[in-house]
Structure 1
Amino acid sequence: MRGGPRRVESPVLDAAQQAVVDHTTGPLLVLAGPGTGKTTTLVEAAAARVEGGADPARILILTFSRKAAVELRDRAALRLGGALAPQATTFHSFCYGLVRAHQDTDLFNDPLRLLSGPEQDVMVRTLLEGQREIRSIRWPDDLRAALTTRGFADEVRAVLARARELGLGPGALDAFASRQGRPDWKAAAAFLSEYLDVLDMQGTLDYAELLHRAVLLAERTPALAAAYDVIYVDEFQDTDASQLRLLRALAGPGGTLVAFGDPDQSIYAFRGADINNTLDFQGAFPGAAVRALTVGRRSAANLLAATRLLTTRMPVPRLPSEAVRAHRGLTPTRDGGRVEVYTYPTAGAELDDIADILRRAHLEDGVPWQDMAVLVRAGGRTLPTMRRALIASGVPAETDGADIPLRHEPAVSPLLTALRAASWAGCGRR
């Protein structure tokens, strides 16, 4: 009979990691850069509590991606044994379970369904198209012509998401728009009211509304603040206003919350992530301590020195200066590494040289293709072009499917072209 996962031995921790594991009470912000052993520290901190007699069900680990949640669950299960592993989940999964558990069965017979991004896009565009005809909402005249465009629908979706992240309902958004003299925001407030009515009628939620309702439940249900002895948060720098409110409600006054974050990796502001959640951690959680992991195990000394030159130009106010210096002054575990910077007159010249560098590394230095990587800044716009340029230059290229829009996938793009051609041919026959 097959048993559960075999337990692994506890790893050897450095002094900074051990200090985090030994933290038992109150809020703590851990400044943890890449390669500092953040995940190991988080798992060991949770394991130490379980081995000390804590109930695993009263330990909550929150992260942002399903992949990260699976990794945390697997590592905790290997460290403690499957039955003793605490819950590790994404914010959205946790919120969905919370909302489902408190769903009003008199109003909703079936479980609330989450809208996908494309489904939400279709709903918003359909409502906007209807308003162009019936004029139920007084959009400014200079915007009315744009109601049926994809760009305007994207802007409206962003406004709705930001409003709910900030805890604003239609009434509060309308009042704010009046104070600011913004008729476009007043129209958006009326649209938000109509949009929420449609969600309720369909028994659906989008991701921003899911978080908003979970926050309201957590704030209005005192028992939830007593449900967990400790909450661990991975990638805290990616949290938005709603997630911060959720954590404050779940932790309660003086509760034990251990957040791992890196202000130098705060790159998701376009999704609502707020770096001030990290910078103002001690204000949001009074009495909080701030520590840093101080050993860099992934990057060699030269790379750490180069990144240090960049981060010194990125101020992080309101955090203890000693912790910030320790966070950025990592001690490398290995020497070597090389950092080179190139500039190019055109994007095409840049692509050609990248391909040439990769070819030379493979042919002259014997570096396997699978040991090379190219990182780009904007995946949706840059990855397809980069991939075509590399393949045209004889460099085999694989891209992460999650980073490529579906319409650009090799198996999908020709199909869409064929469908467009068939559609045009059909229109011609008519």
Structure 2
Amino acid sequence: MNTSSSDGHRTERRRTRTPDAYRLVRTGPQRVDPVVLDAAQRAVVEHTGGPLLVLAGPGTGKTTTLVEAVAARVEAGADPARILILTFSRKAAVELRDRTALRLGGARAPQATTFHSFCYGLVRSHQDADLFADPLRLLSGPEQDVMVRTLLEGQRRIRSIHWPDDLRAALTTRGFADEVRAVLARARELGLGPHELSDFASRTGRPDWKAAAAFLAEYLDVLDLQGTLDYAELLHRAVLLAERTPAMSSLYDAVYVDEYQDTDASQLRLLRALAGPAGRLTAFGDPDQSIYAFRGADINNILDFETSFPGARVRALTVSRRSSAGLLAATRQLTSRMPMPRLPAAAVRAHRALASTREGGRAEVYTYPTAGAELDNIADILRRAHLEDGVPWQDMAVLVRAGGRTLPQMRRALIAAGVPAETDGTDIPLRHEPAVAPLLTALRTLALAGPDTPLAPAEPGAGAEAEAGA
């Protein structure tokens, strides 16, 4: 008797000595048959020499092409341990790892990981055991925020760093701490240390950046004392190791990168060190989807691919299986206004002239005088689609630009209009959760009032009314 599990493995229940007893035998995953590829995808899969940039728009089968390219190398005799797949999120890495493993059947799958996970393993493997008895620990975003604000508060009190007078009053504000964190991250992404940042500040006449350079030196000292790293420093140290270790350039026979348009300056240097002179790199990306400049992503990495990796070729996937012809026509009106210099004109034309396997579809544009009017009309459009056209709620989606600020307002507006709304919990900061925000407000009020302020006694029945109101 056979059963199947969610990860694609079969579990067999076999009778043993007694009729009521079974033992579970886990068998290997069943091999997934190769998919049918179009001509553009086959050209990418069959490419084996020199660096390659694949312009892959939405729904063009980018992940499928990447998996098939890896499978083709392994089936041709390549060692899976010498193939590396890099992406940006844990979810994407797990998906690539699982799909590659299923495609290869019982064969060993190559390493598929995020940039940060790969860099952590690299730094950890070269960690000086005499200096660091324990593994280096990565700081979370909130932990880094607390550290930066604590250091700024100390500098405000003892004036250990000479911040400009017009900035000193802002040292303890959250906004200033966020700006300092951004400066630290961008400096390390560009490979700048305290001395380089200070020299640059002197040449440009920026006393605020000179103070930031002194802060960076103190911040790095604290990280070393605590045995911790933030994400920008992790990448910076991994890049230095890769560039100073000649063997890194021959460690992998092939390196694949997903979402290449999201790479920053540090990640480009890392890839150049891993690819080596032979340029064993295949990068998939879409410059039209470059939206993470605020995180340090540099669109010039994809535009200057041929310069960064001499001898590189550029190809485009040309068939979209996800978007309808109407939607592609609408997006083409926008992308045609976005110049893509320094890339081959033929590849750019092929990339933007996608053919669709789905007919129909339309895109409508609305403008509103106020944010409130926009929310009300979005709710009205969704209600009409459900009540008049019979569209199920689960087939609708609302995309917002700034999740932290917009999602809570959008959710309230939809629920108030009778539209059921589900939001991804990872998109809403904890401080904005309905159950957490009132608690934080109460704690903030108590902190401002001081420890000696007596709390007003609750009136009879107030607790029940408050509970009912909540």
Same fold (TM over 0.5): yes
Cα distance in 1 for residues equivalent to 2:61 and 2:398:
24
Cα distance in 1 for residues equivalent to 2:117 and 2:106:
20
**1:41 counterpart residue number:** 65
**1:158 counterpart residue number:** 182
1:3-402 correspondence to structure 2 within 5 Å: 3-81=27-105, 83-402=107-426
| Moved beyond 3 Å, runs of 4+ | 417-427
Preserved contact between residue 50 and residue 84 of structure 1 (Cα < 8 Å): no
1:130/1:418 CA distance change after superposition, 3 Å: closer
Cα distance in 1 for residues equivalent to 2:164 and 2:442:
40
Name whichever of 376-385 and 28-37 sits farther off.
376-385
Cα distance in 2 for residues equivalent to 1:93 and 1:411:
33
Cα distance in 2 for residues equivalent to 1:174 and 1:421:
41
Preserved contact between residue 302 and residue 339 of structure 1 (Cα < 8 Å): yes
Report the secondary structure of 1:79's partner residue.
helix
- Give, as a single letter, the amino acid of the residue that structure 2 aligns with 1:57: A
**2:453 counterpart residue number:** 428
- Give, as a single letter, the amino acid of the residue that structure 2 aligns with 1:141: D
Structure-1-length-normalised TM-score:
0.98
Higher relative contact order structure (alpha carbons within 8 Å, sequence separation ≥ 6): 1
The CA deviation string for residues 394-421 of structure 1, in whole angstroms up to 9 with x for no partner, is 0000011111111112332343345446
The number of residue pairs the alignment matches comes to 430
Cα distance, 1:381 vs structure 2 = 1.1
Cα distance in 2 for residues equivalent to 1:347 and 1:156:
31
Cα distance in 1 for residues equivalent to 2:301 and 2:114:
18
- Give, as a single letter, the amino acid of the residue that structure 1 aligns with 2:212: A
Preserved contact between residue 229 and residue 255 of structure 1 (Cα < 8 Å): no
1:422/1:142 CA distance change after superposition, 3 Å: closer
Cα distance, 1:429 vs structure 2 = 1.2
Name whichever of 412-421 and 74-83 sits farther off.
412-421
Name whichever of 249-258 and 384-393 sits farther off.
249-258
**2:462 counterpart residue number:** none
Q: Name stretches of at least 5 consecutive residues in structure 1 with no aligned partner.
A: none
Cα distance, 1:426 vs structure 2 = 5.5
Structure-2-length-normalised TM-score:
0.90
Preserved contact between residue 26 and residue 255 of structure 1 (Cα < 8 Å): yes
1:426/1:145 CA distance change after superposition, 3 Å: closer
Structure showing greater radius of gyration is: 2
Cα distance in 2 for residues equivalent to 1:364 and 1:233:
45
Cα distance in 1 for residues equivalent to 2:139 and 2:370:
41
- Give, as a single letter, the amino acid of the residue that structure 2 aligns with 1:140: P
The CA deviation string for residues 103-152 of structure 1, in whole angstroms up to 9 with x for no partner, is 00010000000000111111111111111122111111111111111111
Cα distance, 1:185 vs structure 2 = 0.9
Cα distance in 2 for residues equivalent to 1:415 and 1:8:
51
**Which structure has more helix as a fraction of its residues?**
1
Preserved contact between residue 254 and residue 286 of structure 1 (Cα < 8 Å): no
1:187/1:419 CA distance change after superposition, 3 Å: closer
The CA deviation string for residues 165-196 of structure 1, in whole angstroms up to 9 with x for no partner, is 00001111111111111111111111111110
Report the secondary structure of 1:84's partner residue.
coil
The CA deviation string for residues 28-72 of structure 1, in whole angstroms up to 9 with x for no partner, is 000001100000000000010011111101000000001100110
